[in-house]
Amino acid sequence: MSLGRRKASPPNGPKVYRRGPAHPDHRYGQEAPDHQYRRFDSLPIAGKQDLPAPLRRGVVDGHPLGRALPFGVHRFCQPLPSAKYVQFVSDLNKQQMTHLPNGFHWPYSEGLRMDEAMHSLTLLAFGCYGQMLPKQNGAPVRVVLPWKWGYKSAKSIVRFHFTDEQPHTLWNDLDAEEYGFYSNVNPNISHRWSQAHERRIDGSLFDRTIPTQMFNGYGDQVASLYKGMDLTKDY
């Protein structure tokens, strides 16, 4: 059941956040209504100038999602206290994306617990190398999650969905044993191949491997998010 009215969208510019109608749950063939927020409006890309000055983290320009939400989503959409997760839904333009493979539940989707989303390392990225994000890097906006495997950093986001239940994500729906919901970098979890070592791409003449660090080296910052969890099961 909807908990707020949808207002008319601004006429100009693509939308960073979009309410939209209830979206189909492709796995069960049912409608999954958005129900974890009170009211909503749309925010065009141009609205990001209202955000604080962007940070540069490596080659990526953006804002910690926890800082951006009060200036973006929270201004137009107030998640209820019962919202425990946020789902990121990517653009699906079949006129441009003419070679989408079969067997996947499109559009692409990923998700986080709310405490993960609000962590200072979770970046809402608009640019890289001082320029707006190009399409291949996830324009118009994406998330960057440096302690998780790359597929968790959803690209070309057009919709945020707040829910009190763990949301469906494309890869987890496809193979939950291989692609866990959390997908933290963990050298102790082997899938079809060992994750204990990684190849360092640094311009060296010969490939070299180094031990994979837990949480990709960000354990001091994020390990507390998973205190008390068995990360060999919740991966």
Per residue in 189-215, pLDDT tens?
Answer: 887 788 898 888 777 777 788 999 999
> Is the model's pLDDT at 41 over the cut of 50?
no
> Is the model's pLDDT at 43 over the cut of 80?
no
pLDDT band at residue 17 using 50, 70 and 90 as cut-offs = very low
Closest CA to 65 of 138, 129, 115: 115
Q: Are 154 and 169 in contact (CB under 8 A)?
A: no
The CATH number given to 15-177 is: 3.90.420.10
pLDDT at 206: 78
Q: Which tens digit of pLDDT belongs to each residue from 95-152?
A: 888 888 988 989 999 999 999 999 999 998 988 888 888 888 998 889 999 999 999 9
- Which residues fall within 8 angstroms of residue 92, CB to CB, at 6 or more apart? 106, 107, 108
Compute φ and ψ for 156, nearest 5 degrees: 45, 50
> Is the model's pLDDT at 76 over the cut of 80?
no
pLDDT at 219: 96
Listed by start position, the domains of the chain span: 15-177, 184-235
Q: What is the DSSP string of 173-219?
A: HH-TTTS-SS-B--TT--SSS--SEEEE-SS-SS-EEEEPPGGGGTH
Strand intervals (E) in 72-187: 85-90, 109-113, 123-128, 131-132, 142-144, 157-163
Q: Are 35 and 167 in contact (CB under 8 A)?
A: no
pLDDT at 186: 94
- Mean pLDDT, rounded, of the chain: 75
> Is the model's pLDDT at 68 over the cut of 80?
no
Please report how many Cα atoms fall inside a 13 Å half-sphere around the Cα of residue 174, on the Cβ side: 14
Closest CA to 182 of 172, 191, 174: 172
pTM comes to 0.75
- Is omega for the bond preceding 107 within 30 degrees of 0, making it cis? yes
Q: Which tens digit of pLDDT belongs to each residue from 144-177?
A: 999 999 999 999 998 888 889 999 999 999 999 8
